A and B are shown apart, each in its own frame.
Chain A
């Protein structure tokens, strides 16, 4: 049965996925087990993306399906499922930039791969990143930016993190439309990630999980 849900979700058969979830709910199955299967499916979908079998279109659609699963399960949840998390990530689109599509996909993938993600949203002020790092104490910080002015904003943000004495406590990754390794060096980040699964790989590497 578990296998059915995972397989149907990985194959993006939306109606079948929802039918199975409903059946399992009707059979009074533990919601945690259902969510756990959904997460297993998302991990496989993430790997397929990484292997070049799936694309952003599939990731986006899997996110849409996941939202519908959550909607079905929500009324039955007494509390949020206590998933074991690999580590914490603070992420946001840097100040002045309001693009969110890519960042949202990264957040979704990090979350479904077992990270506790603190999404600060878009146009995130330099100070806000510093505050969030103090509050959340993440292992990983993600800076997103689409336009070229964000090179300097990223540099500023990382500079402020350094000035606050927090630079050694976090690994910083950057990503977005006009980013590359050159910008990583320019801004003083630890790595550049080309896509959402690169972000997952980097975060996993930095917190020491396979």
Chain B
């Protein structure tokens, strides 16, 4: 007898959570990380999916009809172009705004915090975000440069504080913000609705909250790569203070939404800590202590951090193993899988490792062979989740399908 949707949902959820918490599941789960693929597969452009989330949702319907993930995400990465457009977002380029209609949106680095602004940032991050980061990131909020010091509002301070809200450029910025919020609400609602829809199709949602490593929060959208790398040499103490300041912020950023959504998984996307980017000493000093504190904060907050390690993480294994057993998932883009299993086995669930290039240029046989290798090396006694190394955009559908089907067949624990 065919399983009911409820049975499938429970089965997939249990399988995924068992692997994450180092219990032996019935078989190796497959939790893909997907970006543009469903749109290509359904034959709509990236531009269409970003301008109308219902089209992205339809593309996801087709994806879920044909593929068999144990947890998955829905259309939330089809970011709302209209909102980005209205607010004049500066650190992305997207279809119609700097990239062609059928190309994925892309991140553009900039220096959104200057080298001499660390003290100001550390003293009051919220005021810095309001009056510097937001106006620099979102052209429509330029008026926020004139926002008052809310922290000075006591006694007669509130006369100044309230007065600033009457400035025409501040009012203009608030009006843009309110208009954009209406559009954003549609996107948010569509994403929330789709989580329900996935449940009704038997698929648990994989994304509860998103966060980024404290080092990357400073490096990606505040200082930029050149800025933060230079700061490691020129002003290491100020950088470390800012990173420390970011730790509780990075925790609340992930844990809050994850608990509110009822999906207690916080995905932490690592960018600049991989092999090659910095030395092991730099990693030990600037990257890992704050990331570890963030991981611990997520665990203590009642969530499971899924740490996506971009780039090669083989040399970092000896650091990242220092976490409580069965509480963390490490998703690898590139790693020596045998070493990863040896170092992390019994401590953290391992995920990923299937090269995206193989899905584009390989054959189904080659994909099978690679998946078999991953399972043989990493899935012994549980603690492994099959996934690609990076978010899937381009892929031969038959190659992607083999990742699901072969893993569920070959990866059965007896």
Contacts and interface: CB of A to CB of B under 8 A. Distances in A.
User: Of B98, B226, B277, which is in contact with the most chain A CB atoms at under 10 Å from its CB?
Assistant: B226
Contact of A55 (B99, B109, B279): B279
Interface residues of A, number: 32
A147 B104 CA distance: 9
Interface stretch (A57-65, A112-120, A128-136): A57-65
A57 B277 contact: yes
A186 B106 contact: no
B279 A148 contact: no
Which one of A57, A98, A101, A177 has the greatest number of beta carbons of chain B within 10 Å? A57
Contacts of A146: 106
Contacts of B277: 55-57
Contacts of A148: 356-357, 360, 390, 392-395
A67 to B, nearest CB: 10
A154 to B, nearest CB: 11
A144 to B, nearest CB: 13
A61 to B, nearest CB: 5
Interface in B91-105: 93, 98-100, 103-104
B230 A60 contact: yes
B302 interface: no
A178 B35 CA distance: 15
Nearest to A180: B357
Contacts of A54: 279
B320 interface: no
Contacts, number: 89
Contacts of A63: 226
A57 B394 contact: no
B170 to A, nearest CB: 33
Interface residues of B, number: 34
A98 B357 CA distance: 20
A98 B106 contact: yes
A98 B99 contact: yes
Interface in A47-90: 54-58, 60-61, 63-64
Interface string A152-183: 10000000000000000000000001111011
B276 interface: yes
A64 B226 contact: yes
B122 interface: no
B360 A57 contact: no
B225 A60 contact: yes
Interface string B196-232: 0000000000000000000000000000011001101
A186 B355 contact: no
B98 A101 contact: no
Contacts of A98: 93, 98-99, 106, 108
Contact of B103 (A14, A60, A64, A96): A96
B361 interface: yes
Interface string B338-364: 000000000000000001111011100
A96 B103 CA distance: 7
B278 interface: yes
A177 B106 CA distance: 13
Residue from A12, A149, A177 having most chain B Cβ neighbours under 10 A:
A149
A180 B245 CA distance: 38
Interface in B235-285: 276-279, 282
A98 B395 CA distance: 21
A149 B356 contact: no
A35 to B, nearest CB: 22
A61 B93 CA distance: 27
9 contacts: A56-B276, A60-B226, A99-B106, A101-B109, A147-B393, A151-B360, A151-B394, A182-B361, A182-B362
Interface of B: 36, 93, 98-100, 103-104, 106, 108-109, 225-226, 229-230, 232-234, 276-279, 282, 355-358, 360-362, 390, 392-395
Interface of A: 12, 14, 54-58, 60-61, 63-64, 96-99, 101, 123, 146-149, 151-152, 177-180, 182-183, 185-186, 195
